[in-house]
Amino acid sequence: MPRPQTAGARAESELKQLANKKLVQSVDPVEKLRCYCLTRGANGILGLGRMFRRNDDNDNESLDFKEFSETIASTGLKLKSSELKQMFATFDRDGSGSINIDEFLIGLRPPMSEARKSVILEAFNKADVTGDGLLTIDDLKRVYNVKRNPKYLNGDCTEEEILTKFLGTFETYGVQDGIVTCEEFMDYYSGISASIDDDAYFDLMMRNAWKL
């Protein structure tokens, strides 16, 4: 199963350019954060999710306003206090003073059609051979043949190293634990999706990349 090198690399470049352009034009704080994440590539939102979870001091899968503000500040995005409060209030729908991390990240993803979500999920389910909801090197060994990879053939990399690097595609901010959840997989491809206008082309790219 080949990596989506050509189409994926092109989409990644287009995504960053589009996100930078929209970031300058955005006035809504949620859109600003979304664009800022995507200027770092398709795994920008995934990286933000990992930062949020690291700042979840009491491990309750939610953030209060202080934790939320500190995380946003650590990304480097400059927002006014009023913008932070507006964004937090958007997701704190019940007024509890905290927001669920998963719900926030889902809301931050670029909008996708149900067809796109479906083909992404189909790809994940194929790669998740063990069916445990986690994509690991052991899963990839059963669906990804590295024997024709140039770096494997010339001895530069072992099978483990190649597969670890592949999983690193879905990880960022220096965190590489070799485990990718379905939500992280969805976050990554929602970024790729943001730079592709045509549903049919996105579907074709996914099916070619994952041999669906």
The per-residue pLDDT for 5 is 46
CA–CA separation, 92 and 112 (whole Å): 23
CA–CA separation, 130 and 174 (whole Å): 26
The per-residue pLDDT for 176 is 60
Where does residue 185 fall: left (phi above 0), alpha (psi -120 to 50 degrees), or beta otherwise? alpha
The per-residue pLDDT for 7 is 53
Of residues 191 and 77, which shows the higher confidence score? Answer: 77
The per-residue pLDDT for 115 is 93
> Percentage helix, strand, coil, to 5, in the chain?
60, 5, 35
Of residues 147 and 185, which shows the higher confidence score? Answer: 185
Tokens 């600003």 belong to residue: 32
CA–CA separation, 145 and 168 (whole Å): 17
Of residues 131 and 6, which shows the higher confidence score? Answer: 131
CATH 1.10.10.60 fits 5-108, yes or no: no
pTM: 0.70
Tell me the torsion sign for CA atoms 37, 176, 104, 63.
negative
The CATH 1.10.238.10 portion of the chain extends over 5-108, 114-210
Class of domain 114-210: mainly alpha
The residue-averaged pLDDT of 79-106 equals 88
CB 49 within 8 A of CB 40: no
pLDDT digits (tens, 9 = 90+) for 101-152: 888 888 888 888 999 999 999 999 999 999 999 988 888 888 877 777 778 7
